[in-house]
Amino acid sequence: MEEPLVRPTSLTREAAGLRAGTPGLPEYVDRLCALVERVDPLIHAFVPEPGRHGRLRAQARELAARYPAPAGRPPLYGVAVGVKDIVRVDGLPTHGGSALPPGVLAGPQAAVVDRLRAAGALVAGKTVTAEFAATAPGPTRNPHHPGHTPGGSSSGSAAAVAAGLVPLAVGTQTVGSVIRPAAYCGVVGFRPTYGRIPVDGVIPNAPSLDTLGVFTADLAGAALAASVLCDDWRPVAEGPEPVLGVPDGPYLERAEPAALRAFEEQLERLAAAGLAVRRVGLFPDFAELVRQLQFVNRFELARSHADWFARFGGLYRPETVAGIRVGQAVAAEDRAAALRFRERLRDRVAAAGAAAGVDLWLAPSATGGAPEGLHSTGDGAMSLPWSFLGRPALSLPAGRTREGLPLGLQVVGAAGGDERLLAQAAVLERVLTGR
């Protein structure tokens, strides 16, 4: 492991410094670009961009001229942000990790990028994605162990934050594409309630599931980013210590023994700190839940790509082709039945949580540490039910495997309760980090 590859930086500190003028934007941009040039060839987090330095210098000059006085600077003034390459950014091509001809995927800038730029952020560049945010991995390596996957499909965004190239990056999650790479790369990943950040201008995978999320070094950074990006953000006080629910049953059994051992150790630490931990049987029909989500996911993937695939199917990678072919065979009635299944599941999970007095559900963020090799982005099973339900979730760095691979603790809140989730998770972060 090359230790210099792992050095995430605090978004809140970096944003505060830039607003105060320390460092100035020209110095910050020069340092950023030098770091990308030195480190990114080792991890491939960013899509290559000729002229990156000149573009950022020009945008920094415009930003500095617009906000000459520190007191009037917006919350993300000058902050460099990585943006997953299925999210459209004016002035940068969108390839979606694919070989489709330039311009085919073009369109208006994404609303999330409008919000970033209105908050003063500089788009450092496009981050590598699995092809069309599905399963065919990109070239990104895990900064902790470059021979291992960083996870997917938001691989470049997670790796860019873990390596300290940027303090904030945007990803998307359809099933596990924010929470899992955050865990594999040892950073915080936050996936808000479905629909809380508009997905206009994002290449769709499965529109009934697709959700924008963020990667940061710590929870405070995720809260700052969420306040800028989420609709109608209303911060809440931390409040009373949360009651923690553990979803016992077939779902948790999908995790590897090492991940479960670490999870139990985390639960013991939280209980020793005085937090109530309650075990609740949940998702007894987990295999059926997986099947129903796949009906929705594959059906919508095929429909999202119907036009592009008809024209350029020969340029798609085999993994994506396989997913689209499966989706083409899913009947519309099966997808509709799966969405009805989801509504019933939402009611059951809400009732189980209320009966047990659970504020936050806890689970491993991934089935284990990052797998060796770059041929797979890993298993998204631990995120799957929460993504299907559309609930907000985050991954907190929490321990390592014996091989030194990062692990994450997944914390899940109530639908629409993103502010409460981030506030209450601060208690967990303090216990787990000792800070």
Residues acting as catalytic residues? 84, 153, 177
Structural tokens at position 94: 């969108």
What is the C-alpha to C-alpha distance for residues 322 and 87, in angstroms, rounded to an integer? Answer: 23
Q: Which two tokens stand for residue 277?
A: 């931990």
DSSP annotation of 121: -
Give the residue from 36, 10, 153 showing the smallest Cα distance to 84.
Answer: 153
Distance CA 215, CA 195 (A): 18
Structure tokens at 160: 């860019």
C-alpha 293: how far from chain center: 19
Neighbours of 420 (CB within 10 A): 19
| DSSP state letters, 267-307 | HHHHHHTT--EEEEE--TTHHHHHHHHHHHHHHHHHHHTHH
Residues 6+ away with beta carbon under 8 Å from 348: none
Q: Residue 114 and residue 229: Cα distance in Å, rounded? A: 9
Q: Are 230 and 418 in contact (CB under 8 A)?
A: yes
